[in-house]
Structure 1
Amino acid sequence: MVEQYHNYVNGSWTDAETGESFETEDPAAPAEIVAEYQDSGVKDAGEAVKAAADAQDEWADTPAPERGAILRATATILTDRKDELTKLLTREEGKTHAEAGGEVQRAIDIFYYYAEKTRDLGGSVKSASGPRTNLYTKNEPVGVVSLITPWNYPIAIPAWKLAPALATGNTVVLNPASVAPGVALEIFDALDEAGLPDGVANLVTGPGSTVGDAIINHDDVDAVSFTGSGEVGHMVYDQATDDGKRVQTELGGKNPTVVTDSADVEEAAEIVANGAFGVTGQACTACSRAIVDSEIYDEFVESVVAQAESIEIGPGDEYDMGPQVTESELEGTLEYIDVASNEGATLETGGGRPEGERFGDGYYVEPTVFSDVDNDYRIAQEEVFGPVLAVIEVDGFEDGLETANDISYGLSASIVTDDHTEAERFVREVEAGVAKVNDKTTGLELHVPFGGFKRSSSETWREQGDAGIDFYTIEKTVYDGF
């Protein structure tokens, strides 16, 4: 029996006005349908925004700790359902069971975190220049917020947008990516059970080109938070800012790990492989460029190839690396592999679809390593979004840092070195929103800001931690003469 999901609008589960629906498939076994969703239209989006606008004042006036209590209850409900959410995420997106479970736990932790932050929301007290005046600031919600989220972290990213928005008194409309929306809808089921008032949070499934566009451009929307591709994100930014809306976009990456001649080669190869091949390379922070000193280049290539070849591919409930999420994503990865070979890069391992009974018609691709890559090759400049690593040879630290920065993206970057001076200079000079030392490019703490430089972000507002609260609030200065 295929699970049937509905939109969540004004506290009710509703069918799309279009009367249409769409299905999602298991990327490990595409013939298996996972769930059915509403293929919504502009009218459905408008109803959701209206519900959010009607509920905004009352939600903003709700004491912040009371809002926090609902977020806390939501986290508890999600905790009770962690196993079933993990299975759903694996079936719909393709992550391994361990990766999916980690992502569900992150969403739970985010709701707990912002539930506690509601106790500390407020402003600051300042000294007035004159007598009999209390001078202070207070933080108020932005208003109605449109949230547009991608498929690659289908529960974590909705959580880290929803939780701070609701904690600070905003009402929201979420349009999740159609490839894997199930776990986002399960968040709303938990919010509903936790007692969230009608209209405060709304979810409408359907194409971003229709539903997403409608909730971005609606006159009652005050702010937009978007995570997705650079091409779409720049259009979203232009549309929203033309209407005077507050906008936050987090986009792609082409993330480097610089490996210096002082690094432990085996450790470096493990760090790079974990960053490149984890979640099947389908992370905006995935390591796609290993920039390696010539003194250890050959040894590193041999070691990282061994790491890649040790990964067991198969369905996410049993193996180390699952499939890509859709056939089109798989085709895109295979196309880039062909491009890299034609440009002159050397294919060291992988490069195709694995063969064997367990793979069936699943969207699997082998972990792939290219050596002899020039940094101006397309494989080194364009986001692949698959388990493909380009290894680039450089002559010393200076050359490595310059190569790391010679890119239009700037999301995450790391260095593997035993030299403190190199590490400190890398952190200071690398052009990336996240800089790591002796660690993989992936993996983020929820209580610190996240965002990129250059084409990886609008460079307006960061997400997560206190920065997440900043985006969803406006500061008012008050002169009180009583």
Structure 2
Amino acid sequence: MIVVITTKVETFNNYINGEWQESGSRKTFFSVNPANTEDLVGEFQASNEQDVKIAIEAAKNAFPSWSQTAPSKRAAILNQAASILEQNADSLAEELTREEGKHVDDAKNEVIRSAQTLRYYAVEGQSFTGETFPNDDANMKVSTEREPLGVVSVITPWNFPLSIPARKIAPALITGNTVVFKPSSDTPLIAYRLVEALDKAGIPKGVINFVTGKASDVGDLLVTHPAVRAVTFTGSTAAGEDIHKKAGFTTRTQMELGGKNPLIVMDDADLNLAATLTVNGGFSLTGQACTGTSRVIVLKNIKEEFVQKLVEKTRALKLGNGFEAGVKIGPLANERQLKNVLKYIQYGKEDGAELVYGGEPLVTGEFEKGYYVQPAIFTNVNANSRIAKEEIFGPVVAVIEVDTYEEAIAVANDVEYGLSASIVTNNLKIANQFTKDIQAGTVKVNRTTTGNLMNAPFGGLKKSSTSTFRESGRVGLEFFTQLKTVYMGY
């Protein structure tokens, strides 16, 4: 596929109270193609706090009417927006790849999944009601009602710039909340398209509001404004901790944060499967997934054979532009990511690990204008070293050798994160024990650490989450509602 890069750069506005409008700052910024930094994807509003105040006020004013709108009418808007995404899936996938870097096939899958998420919550949200409780008074009914919270701030990252917003915005809207949405400044275009779809679907003024810009300029007010009743955030643990501290006493928070996800390979494992799961979990999407495999904990007696297979499979991966057929690893999303990944590769060397494959920046030929790096495999990794403990968020895998299952569990759990974990084994007893021993919110057996069903809960333990409200599935609606208990005598 060949994508023509035009010299004309389109300008995109904020969306506040049903109107596309410029920022009061009169400043803008550019979104850049990570595969070719000379390609400017779009020009976006560098919003200021006044823009955010206006957006929050619009959401606040829209809430009384939207919260009383019939769930079926809310659902109709979500379904119509889903249809718009589906009808434009190919062009949206191209924009997503150009802006974020993932392969266009992965981008199209994200567009389709996002549409499916809107449809899923359009159905589930209509039946998400309270309960009735038995009591001894024949002339009284005791029940609960679920009510929306009010204004919700939605703050999202760049790695899944369409599906993560859809996963947050859809349950917020179907339950009757209004939204102020700030996407990552690296990927504002595809986020714009989601809001555009909702606008075309007929969403009322003020129900969804969209502001772009730096978190340092607008992030605090999205969290601290007294009209904001809830904040749902996906991003780094450091940023999540900062938001959690700044949020008001009555402001509900939902945080999906970092991970340092282990894959344990037992000595009875199918090593071809284990190597494939490592490659898919560690290097797909250029390692830029919060559930990506960053540690492989391997039994000593099979380590050498496993590493050999892992290197062979990694060497076969094609690197390049996300529009090229067969490409499995694209560019990193931005210059910060590239510098961070290279920093951790250097840490691995300094801490005594052996770099057995890759780890070099790619700076010539087709890679010259992009943020490319070879996937890196380290062996002989000390379990207490930086590449074994800290989130890297890139295509770097640390192979850690252990003697027993018990040691593997101890190493796997000895980090501050607990998002996702997997084990490769044919022993059902060990597999079952693993699901009990591992400290992670998502636990898998003979599967990659990445990926989750939209109808199943998603979230982490420890510093991977606030451990309050899960996302995804039916439970993903709980965060956006509050319970009222009603005693009705007659």
Provide TM-score, normalisation by structure 1. Answer: 0.99
Per the alignment, residue 451 of structure 2 pairs with 443
What is aligned with 1:395? 403
- Equivalents in 2 of 1:355, 1:226: separation in Å? 34
Residue from 5, 13, 18 that aligns with 1:11: 18
Offset, 1:129: 2.2
Cα displacement string for residues 323-378 of structure 1 (whole angstroms, at most 9, x for unaligned residues): 00111210110111011011100000101123542112210000110000011010
> Amino acid of the residue matched to residue 275 of structure 1?
G
Counterpart in the other structure of 1:236: 243
User: 1:212 maps to which residue?
Assistant: 219
Q: Does 1:107 align with 2:114?
A: yes
Deviations 1:6-32 (A, max 9, x none): 101001101000000000111100011
2:267 to 258, 261, 266: 261
Partner of 1:293: 299
Q: Look up the match of 1:128.
A: 135
Code of the residue aligned with 2:413 in structure 1: it is: N
SS in 1 for 2:486: strand
Contact 1:351 / 1:367 at 8 angstroms: preserved in 2? Answer: yes
Letter in 2 for 1:156: S
Q: Where does residue 421 of structure 1 map in the other structure?
A: 429
| Residue 78 (str. 1) matches residue 95 (str. 2) | no
RMSD: 0.9
Q: Name the amino acid aligned to 1:92.
A: E
1:248 matches 2:254: yes
Q: Which of residues 357, 362, 366 in structure 2 aligns to 1:354?
A: 362
**Distance across 2 between alignment mates of 1:99 and 1:293:** 33
21, 25, 29: which is aligned to 1:22? 29
2: CA distance, partners of 1:215 / 1:119? 28
What is the TM-score with the length of structure 2 in the denominator? 0.97
Q: Which amino acid aligns with 2:254?
A: Q
Whole-Å separation in 2 of the counterparts to 1:337 and 1:308: 17
Residue 408 of structure 1 aligns with which residue? 416
Give runs of aligned pairs for residues 267-286 of structure 1, distance below 5 A: 267-286=273-292
Matched, 1:467 2:489: no
Q: Contact 2:118 / 2:166 at 8 angstroms: preserved in 1? A: yes
Paired AA for residue 311 in structure 2: V
Residues 1:341 and 2:362 are matched in the alignment: no
1:68 is the counterpart of 2:78: no
Q: Distance in 2 between matches of 1:67 and 1:357?
A: 50
Query: What's the CA shift string for 1:58-77, capped at 9, x where partnerless?
Result: 10101111111111111011
Is the contact made by 2:459 and 2:465 (CA closer than 8 Å) also made in structure 1?
yes
Secondary structure of 2:37's partner? strand
Match of 2:126 among 92, 102, 119: 119
1:370 aligns with 2:378: yes
- Structure 1 position 163 matched with structure 2 position 173: no
Q: Secondary structure at the match of 1:295?
A: helix
State yes or no: 1:199 paired with 2:206: yes
Match status 1:174 vs 2:181: yes
Distance 2:128 2:427 in 1: 42
Runs of 4+ that moved beyond 4 A: none
Letter in 2 for 1:430: I
Counterpart of 1:26, as a letter, is N
Listed one character per residue, the Cα deviations across residues 115-149 of structure 1 (whole Å, up to 9, x for unaligned) are 11133121112223212112211100011101110
Equivalent position of 1:322 in the other structure = 330
Identity of aligned residues (%): 45
Pick closer, same or farther for the CA change 1:188–1:392 going to 2, 3 Å.
same
Given residue 475 of structure 2, which amino acid in structure 1 is its aligned partner?
A
Cα distance in structure 1, aligned partners of 2:337 and 2:444 = 28
- Establish whether residue 153 from structure 1 lines up as the match of residue 160 from structure 2: yes
Asked if 1 retains the 8 angstrom alpha-carbon contact of 2:363 and 2:369, the reply is no
Check the 8 A contact 2:23/2:46 in 1, yes or no: yes
Give the counterpart of 1:308 among 311, 314, 323: 314
CA distance in 2, matches of 1:405, 1:422: 16
Assess if the C-alpha contact under 8 Å between 2:264 and 2:424 holds in 1.
Answer: yes
Alpha-carbon distance, 1:84 to partner: 1.0
Q: Which moved more, 1:459-468 or 1:50-59?
A: 459-468
In structure 1, distance between residues paired with 2:114 and 2:10: 22
Give me the whole-angstrom Cα distance separating, in 1, the residues matched to 2:478 and 2:289.
Answer: 25
Read off the aligned partner of 1:334 and give its amino acid letter: L
Q: Distance in 2 between matches of 1:78 and 1:182?
A: 14
In 1, distance between residues paired with 2:182 and 2:220?
A: 10
Contact 1:217 1:243 in 2 (8 A): no
Paired residue for 1:32?
39
- Which amino acid in structure 2 is aligned with residue 397 of structure 1? Y
Q: Tell me by how many angstroms 1:57 deviates.
A: 0.9
Cα distance between partner residues in 2 of 1:334 and 1:142: 43
Report if aligned partners of 1:64, 1:121 keep a CA contact under 8 Å in 2.
no
The one-letter code of the counterpart of 2:321 is: P
- Where does the alignment leave 5 or more consecutive residues of structure 1 unmatched? none
Supply the distance in 1 between the matched residues of 2:197 and 2:72 (Cα, whole angstroms).
18
Residue of structure 2 equivalent to 1:222: 229
2:5 matched to which residue of 1? none
Quote the residue 1:431 is aligned against: 439
* 2:60 is equivalent to residue 53 of structure 1: yes
Cα deviation, residue 292, structure 1: 0.4
Cα distance in 1 for partners of 2:164, 2:28 equals 24
Contact 2:272/2:309 (<8 A) preserved: yes
Amino acid at match of 2:471: E
Q: Which amino acid aligns with 1:375?
A: A
Whether the 8 Å CA contact 1:172–1:201 is kept in 2: the answer is yes
Q: Say how many residue pairs are matched.
A: 481
- Matched residue SS, 2:32: strand
Distance 2:83 2:39 in 1: 31
